[in-house]
């Protein structure tokens, strides 16, 4: 049966099925973005005592949660900025910045 010959109620029901909203999870994404900057740039980034192999300025997509960020600029890895505690909520983007050995946010 062609679409033109179908009763209007059936065509509406089919069309409604095609355009009905898709069920989406009500949960927020479990990831967040952490942006770490420094002045000057080029400091090694350590998150939760794990070297990241990244230098400032850098962006990280991480699971929501608590983190401690440290920056190092020279060997023997003297900290440029001591541990900065950061809490990230799901879907949040947070930028932290170190200049002159002090964190700002």
User: Mean pLDDT in runs of 10 for the chain (105 residues)?
Assistant: 57 51 58 94 94 96 97 69 94 94 82
Segments forming the whole domain that contains residue 62: 31-104
Report the pLDDT value the prediction gives residue 105, as an integer from 0 to 100. Answer: 59
Report the pLDDT value the prediction gives residue 27, as an integer from 0 to 100. Answer: 60
Q: Nearest-5° angle of CA 51, CA 56, CA 59?
A: 85
Strand, coil or helix: 24: coil
Residue 98 sits in a domain whose CATH number is 2.60.40.1120
User: How far apart are the C-alpha atoms of 59 and 47, rounded to whole Å?
Assistant: 12
Report the pLDDT value the prediction gives residue 100, as an integer from 0 to 100. Answer: 83
Residue 52 lies in a domain: yes
Phi–psi pair at 101, nearest 5 degrees: 80, 10
Give residue 65's region: left, alpha or beta (phi > 0; psi -120 to 50).
left
Residue 61 lies in a domain: yes
């Amino acid at each position: 049966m062609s679409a033109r010959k179908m009763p209007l109620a059936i065509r509406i029901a089919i069309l409604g099925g095609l355009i009905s909203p898709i069920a989406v999870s009500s949960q927020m994404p479990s990831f967040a973005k952490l942006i770490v900057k420094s002045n000057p740039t080029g400091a090694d980034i350590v998150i939760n005592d794990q070297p990241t192999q990244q230098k400032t300025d850098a962006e990280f997509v991480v699971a929501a949660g608590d983190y401690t960020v440290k920056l190092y600029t020279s060997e023997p890895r003297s900290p440029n900025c001591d541990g900065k505690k950061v809490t990230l909520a799901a879907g949040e983007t947070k930028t932290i910045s170190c200049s002159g050995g002090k964190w700002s946010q």
